[in-house]
Amino acid sequence: MTYRPTIGLEVHAELATETKMFCRCKNDPEASEPNTNVCPVCLAHPGTLPAANRDAIHRVLRVGAALGSKLADYSEFDRKSYFYPDIPKGYQITQYEYPFVAGGELAGVAITRVHLEEDTARSSHEGAGNTSEVDFNRAGVPLMELVTEPVIHDAKTAGNFARELQQLLRTLGASHANLEKGEMRIEANISVSKDDTFGTKVEVKNLNSFRSVERAIEFEIARQSKLLDEGGKVLQETWGWDEVKQETFRQRSKEGSADYRYFPEPDLPKILRSDIPEWSDEALKASLPELPASVRARYLALGMKDDDAIFVAYDTTRREFFDGVIAELGDDTSTHTLAINYFISDLSGLAANVTTDTERSTATYGGVTSESFAALIRMVKENKLSSRGAKDVLALMFEKGGDPEAIAQAEGLMQVSDPAALEAAVRGVIEANPGVVEEYKAGKEAGLQFLVGQSMKATKGAGNPALLKELLLKELA
**Alpha carbon distance 304, 193 (integer Å):** 39
Question: Which one among 9, 13, 23, 165 touches Zn ion, defined by CB under 5 A?
Answer: 23
User: Can you point out the beta strands (E) in 34-121?
Assistant: 70-71, 74-75, 78-81, 91-94, 101-102, 105-106, 109-118
Question: Least distance from C-beta 1 to ligand ADP, angstroms?
Answer: 18
Question: Which one among 105, 149, 242, 247 touches ligand ADP, defined by CB under 6 A?
Answer: 149
Question: Does 37 sit near ligand ADP (CB under 6 A)?
Answer: no
**Alpha carbon distance 6, 189 (integer Å):** 8
Residues 243-262 binding ligand ADP (CB under 6 A) are 257
**Alpha carbon distance 121, 35 (integer Å):** 10
Residue 292: CB partners within 8 Å, gap ≥ 6?
A: 164, 167, 168, 171, 313, 314
Nearer to ligand ADP, 113 or 319 (CB): 113
Question: Does 8 sit near ligand ADP (CB under 6 A)?
Answer: yes
Question: Does 147 sit near ligand ADP (CB under 6 A)?
Answer: yes
Partner whose binding site includes residue 23, from ligand ADP, Zn ion, none (CB under 5 to 8 Å by kind): Zn ion
Q: Coil, strand or helix: which one is 474?
A: helix
What pairing do the DSSP bridges indicate for beta strands 237-242 and 202-207?
parallel
Q: Report which of 177, 148, 207, 183 is spatially closest to residue 6, judged by C-alpha positions.
A: 148
Binding mask 217-246 for ligand ADP (x = CB under 6 A): ------------------------------
Question: Least distance from C-beta 143 to ligand ADP, angstroms?
Answer: 16
**Alpha carbon distance 186, 161 (integer Å):** 11
Question: Least distance from C-beta 208 to Zn ion, angstroms?
Answer: 28
Question: Does 189 sit near ligand ADP (CB under 6 A)?
Answer: yes
Nearer to ligand ADP, 197 or 356 (CB): 197
Partner whose binding site includes residue 60, from Zn ion, ligand ADP, none (CB under 5 to 8 Å by kind): none
**Alpha carbon distance 181, 385 (integer Å):** 45
Question: Which one among 31, 39, 102, 291 touches Zn ion, defined by CB under 5 A?
Answer: 39
Question: Least distance from C-beta 228 to ligand ADP, angstroms?
Answer: 14
Considering Cα of 150, then 155, then 158, then 161, what sign does the dihedral take?
A: negative
Stretch that binds ligand ADP, among 193-201, 359-367, 397-405, 444-452 (CB under 6 A): 193-201
Question: Does 201 sit near ligand ADP (CB under 6 A)?
Answer: yes
Size of the site for Zn ion (CB under 5 A): 5
**Residue closest to ligand ADP, measured at CB:** 8
What pairing do the DSSP bridges indicate for beta strands 202-207 and 70-71?
unpaired
| Ramachandran region, residue 267 (left: φ > 0; alpha: ψ -120 to 50; beta: rest) | alpha
Partner whose binding site includes residue 39, from ligand ADP, Zn ion, none (CB under 5 to 8 Å by kind): Zn ion
**Alpha carbon distance 284, 65 (integer Å):** 7
Question: Does 25 sit near Zn ion (CB under 5 A)?
Answer: yes
Whether 296 and 313 have beta carbons less than 8 Å apart is answered as yes
**Alpha carbon distance 4, 331 (integer Å):** 49
Question: Does 42 sit near Zn ion (CB under 5 A)?
Answer: yes
Question: Which one among 74, 84, 198, 249 touches ligand ADP, defined by CB under 6 A?
Answer: 198
> Hey, which residues does 134 pair with through a beta bridge?
123
Question: Does 113 sit near ligand ADP (CB under 6 A)?
Answer: no
Considering Cα of 405, then 333, then 289, then 346, what sign does the dihedral take?
A: negative
The CB density around residue 35, as the number of other CB atoms within 10 Å, is 14
Question: Does 31 sit near Zn ion (CB under 5 A)?
Answer: no
Partner whose binding site includes residue 426, from Zn ion, ligand ADP, none (CB under 5 to 8 Å by kind): none
Question: Which one among 148, 212, 386, 459 touches ligand ADP, defined by CB under 6 A?
Answer: 148
Question: Least distance from C-beta 246 to ligand ADP, angstroms?
Answer: 21
Question: Least distance from C-beta 260 to ligand ADP, angstroms?
Answer: 11
DSSP string computed for 113-165: EEEEEEPPPEEEEEETTTEEEEETTSTT-EEEEEEE-S-B-SHHHHHHHHHHH
Partner whose binding site includes residue 25, from Zn ion, ligand ADP, none (CB under 5 to 8 Å by kind): Zn ion
Question: Does 121 sit near Zn ion (CB under 5 A)?
Answer: no
Residues 253-312 binding ligand ADP (CB under 6 A) are 257
Stretch that binds Zn ion, among 18-26, 183-191, 385-393, 412-420 (CB under 5 A): 18-26
**Alpha carbon distance 169, 186 (integer Å):** 14
**Alpha carbon distance 161, 158 (integer Å):** 5
Partner whose binding site includes residue 182, from Zn ion, ligand ADP, none (CB under 5 to 8 Å by kind): none
Q: Report which of 425, 406, 428 is spatially closest to residue 463, judged by C-alpha positions.
A: 425
Q: Point out which residues bind Zn ion (CB under 5 A).
A: 23, 25, 39, 41-42
Q: Point out which residues bind ligand ADP (CB under 6 A).
A: 6-10, 147-150, 189-191, 198-199, 201, 257
